[in-house]
């Protein structure tokens, strides 16, 4: 290449840099002239072929060319826009998408465990609606019309007849009305009461009813042994169980069932109200009047029923000191039950 040709290439290269309209084009010019296999390095290699007399001038010009070109490239870099990407952009520096698998709510876990344990004893799961009739929730359960639990201060009424069930016991009525004995069911589900919320009460809570009615003799001893078995399966062999005489309109005799407090080990704490025991269930032998309401002959059937508080079981099983934790859906709390 002669000096004149060199000048011409110089002019072309500078023009190409000025004409480049985006960073990609600019980079192509850079590669063409000063890249490893670009024109300027190639000319440096060809220096030995240049006539000796021209060589110093030729070498100097190559140097100034390169310097000027690189300076202009640098200046133009700031002027041209970043290349516009077409199609989806993958940014490897963005944080990934976390998918944290959920866990079953402790209330759901307890219900599943209750169903599993009673399932071993031959109980199946029955269901009923949250919105019930006065008949199913009270009347057929032998609850007198003036009973305080029917008061609007305790029960959420929609009208004179419909209400949010205050217990899972109406499912007893539904099942017995629809099926001949023997029936052996548990019925987990939501219940509603106008309770003021505190550490152990909620206006919306869960119960699971149990009902066993047969034409063969069924006694209070069967009920006690069944619930004692359940307690040990659910809480472990160390749990204490006690039965206290009580009254329910739909059972006779009736008992309340307490489990020893798992949280304090029986020595007394806030959750068991310093008593060492937690009330878990109401139970008893199904009252003959209930049988008449559902069309069974009280002379021909025997049976027991119980209703357990699911949250109460969850609280003592997992050492939860405030029932409200079960409804706040704080992931830090819930994720401990995975």
| Binding residues for ligand PHE (CB under 6 A) | 167, 169, 209, 248, 251, 282-284, 305-307
Question: Minimum distance between the CB of residue 99 and ligand PHE, rounded to whole angstroms?
Answer: 40
| Closer of 209 and 261 to ligand PHE (Cβ) | 209
Question: Minimum distance between the CB of residue 330 and ligand PHE, rounded to whole angstroms?
Answer: 28
- For 167-253, where are the alpha helices, taking DSSP H only? 170-178, 220-235
Burial (CB < 10 A; 0-12, 13-18, 19+), residue 161, is exposed
> How far is it, in rounded angstroms, from Cα 277 to Cα 269?
10
Question: Minimum distance between the CB of residue 210 and ligand PHE, rounded to whole angstroms?
Answer: 7
Contacts of 320 (CB under 8 A, 6+ apart): 106, 314, 326
| Closer of 50 and 278 to ligand PHE (Cβ) | 278
> How far is it, in rounded angstroms, from Cα 182 to Cα 176?
9
Number of Cβ within a 10 Å radius of residue 3: 12
Q: Residue 284 is encoded by which pair of tokens?
A: 């008893």
Number of Cβ within a 10 Å radius of residue 194: 14
> How far is it, in rounded angstroms, from Cα 246 to Cα 243?
9
| Closer of 293 and 306 to ligand PHE (Cβ) | 306
Contact 309, 188 (CB under 8 A): no
DSSP annotation of 233: H
Question: Minimum distance between the CB of residue 280 and ligand PHE, rounded to whole angstroms?
Answer: 10
| Closer of 155 and 169 to ligand PHE (Cβ) | 169
Question: Minimum distance between the CB of residue 176 and ligand PHE, rounded to whole angstroms?
Answer: 13
Residue 7 CA from chain centroid, whole number: 74
Question: Minimum distance between the CB of residue 315 and ligand PHE, rounded to whole angstroms?
Answer: 17
């Amino acid at each position: 290449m002669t000096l004149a040709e060199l000048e011409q290439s110089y002019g072309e290269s500078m023009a190409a840099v000025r004409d480049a309209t985006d960073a990609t084009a600019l980079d192509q010019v850079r590669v063409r002239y000063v890249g490893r296999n670009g024109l300027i390095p190639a000319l440096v290699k060809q220096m030995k072929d240049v006539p000796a007399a021209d060589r110093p001038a030729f070498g100097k010009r190559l140097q100034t060319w390169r310097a000027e070109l690189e300076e202009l490239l640098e200046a133009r870099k700031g002027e041209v826009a970043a290349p516009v990407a077409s199609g989806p952009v993958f940014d490897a520096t963005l944080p990934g998408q976390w998918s944290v698998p959920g866990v079953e709510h402790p209330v759901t876990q307890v219900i599943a465990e209750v169903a599993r344990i009673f399932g071993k004893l031959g109980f199946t799961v029955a269901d009923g609606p949250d919105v019930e009739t006065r008949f199913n929730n009270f009347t057929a359960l032998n609850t007198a019309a003036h009973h305080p639990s029917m008061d609007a201060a305790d029960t959420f009424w929609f009208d004179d007849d419909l209400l949010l069930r205050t217990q899972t016991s109406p499912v007893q009525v539904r099942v017995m009305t629809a099926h001949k004995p023997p029936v052996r069911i548990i019925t987990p589900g939501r219940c509603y009461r106008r309770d003021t919320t505190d550490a152990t009460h909620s206006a919306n809570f869960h119960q699971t009813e149990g009902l066993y009615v047969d034409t063969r003799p069924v006694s209070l001893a069967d009920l006690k042994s069944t619930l004692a078995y359940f307690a040990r399966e659910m809480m472990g062999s160390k749990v204490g169980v006690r039965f206290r005489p009580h009254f329910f309109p739909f059972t006779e005799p009736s008992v309340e069932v307490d489990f020893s407090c798992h949280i304090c080990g029986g020595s007394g704490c806030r959750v068991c109200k310093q008593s060492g025991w937690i009330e878990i269930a109401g139970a008893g032998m199904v009252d003959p009047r209930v049988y008449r309401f559902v069309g069974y002959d009280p002379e021909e059937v025997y049976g027991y029923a119980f209703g357990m508080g699911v949250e109460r079981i969850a609280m003592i099983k997992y050492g939860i000191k405030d029932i409200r934790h079960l409804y706040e859906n704080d992931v830090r709390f819930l994720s401990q039950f995975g």
